[in-house]
Amino acid sequence: MQVAVIALFFGFWEIAADRWIPALFVSRPSLIAATMWKWMLDGTYLRATWATLQATLLGFVAGASTGMVAGYATGSWPRLGVVVAPIMTALYTLPRLALAPLFLLWFGLGLEFRVVFAATIVFFLVYYNTYFGVREVSGELVAAVRIMGASRWQLTRRVIIPSALTWVAAGLKISVPYALVGVVVAEMLAGSEGLGYLLAKNAEQFAAHATFAAIAGVLFIALAIDALVTLVTRRALKWKTMGAPTL
């Protein structure tokens, strides 16, 4: 059914191009497919995808790890949380794009800029999820394990971390696509490689077919990354779905 809808859509697009809509703006599927094929063969896709993936991965790891540590620290020491809260809120509300020129100034046009830009987006998503995850740990569970004679470290390891993990996993899951968005935007703003660069460059030259081909590349990695994250989080949270009615 979905396949039929998509096929119908592409069919309509192919016919409509240059009949009802100028092909300059929307190109046509056959041309896009040809461009994609060409890029696949000459290594354009491979190089751009690798650049984007590399920055996404680094940005994700940097943002997620600092976000988890900061979220855990502020979540488990309420006094620290109170002090840091207004600062975090201010930084979180600030549109990240506004920081881009500053980051460019600091880090230049290279990989660092893209990584830092993606990391700042990922950081806050993971930070808030970890923070709430730690705060939301059931007091009843903590008390029950404390009665067994658990030390503070044992409580952290046995109860607080596993319990917060549901939230953290949710934070990680939503932040992976955002890391990709961050990198692509950074590549579009300033850069000389990656899918975002490919996209922006072709759009500037009114090459709609190549722009669509670049978008297809972004879509492909986004779907691949999402599938990977779903697989990982599902394994980690197996206990949650066990016994729950399956669809």
Partner 1 sequence: MRPDTALRDESPVLLEFREVSFGFTEEEMILDGFNLSVGAHEFVALLGPSGCGKSTLLNLSAGLARPFAGRVLFQGEPVAGVNRNVGYMTQGDTLLPWLTVARNVLLPLEIRRSPVASRRAQLAAALSLVDLTDAAAKYPSELSGGMKRRALLARSLIYDPPMLLMDEPFAALDAQLRETMHAELLRTVNRTRSSVLFVTHDISESILLADRILVLGGRPLTVRDVVCPPFGKNRDLDAVRSSVEYARLEANIRSVMYRPKTSAELSLAAVPA
Residue 147 in the binding site for partner 1 (CB under 8 A): yes
Give 21's strand partners: 17
Residue 159 in the binding site for partner 1 (CB under 8 A): yes
Question: Among 5, 242, 246, 247, which residue sits at the site for partner 1 (rule: CB under 8 A)?
Answer: 242
Residue 145 in the binding site for partner 1 (CB under 8 A): yes
For the chain, the C-alpha Rg in angstroms (whole number) is 23
Cβ at position 239, least distance to partner 1 in Å: 4
Cβ at position 167, least distance to partner 1 in Å: 13
Task: Please identify, using beta-carbon distances, which residue of 86 and 149 lies nearer to partner 1.
Answer: 149
Closest CA to 165 of 118, 234, 227, 228: 234
Element (H, E) at 33: helix 29-42
Tell me the residue ranges of DSSP E strands in 34-186. Answer: none
Could you tell me which stretch among 39-47, 61-69, 111-119, 156-164 binds partner 1 (CB under 8 A)? 156-164
Residue 232 in the binding site for partner 1 (CB under 8 A): no
Cβ at position 72, least distance to partner 1 in Å: 17
Q: Please classify residue 232 by burial: count the beta carbons closer than 10 Å to its beta carbon, then call 0-12 exposed, 13-18 middle and 19+ buried.
A: middle
Question: Among 1, 3, 90, 243, which residue sits at the site for partner 1 (rule: CB under 8 A)?
Answer: 243
What are the tokens at 230? 């779903």
Cβ at position 184, least distance to partner 1 in Å: 35
What are the tokens at 108? 């230049």
Task: Please identify, using beta-carbon distances, which residue of 38 and 240 lies nearer to partner 1.
Answer: 240
Residue 247 in the binding site for partner 1 (CB under 8 A): no
Could you tell me which stretch among 107-115, 138-146, 169-177, 199-207 binds partner 1 (CB under 8 A)? 138-146
Question: Among 162, 174, 222, 226, which residue sits at the site for partner 1 (rule: CB under 8 A)?
Answer: 162
Residue 239 in the binding site for partner 1 (CB under 8 A): yes
Angle at 14 between CA 39 and CA 200, to 5 degrees: 40
How far is residue 201's CA from residue 52's CA, in Å, rounded to a whole number? 15
Q: How many CA atoms lie within 13 A of 38 on its CB side?
A: 10
Residue 158 in the binding site for partner 1 (CB under 8 A): yes
Report the phi/psi class of residue 21: left, alpha or beta, with left for phi > 0 and alpha for psi in -120 to 50. Answer: beta
Residue 204 in the binding site for partner 1 (CB under 8 A): no
Give 17's strand partners: 21
User: Residues in the site for partner 1, rule: CB under 8 A?
Assistant: 140-141, 143-150, 154, 158-159, 162-163, 165, 239-240, 242-244
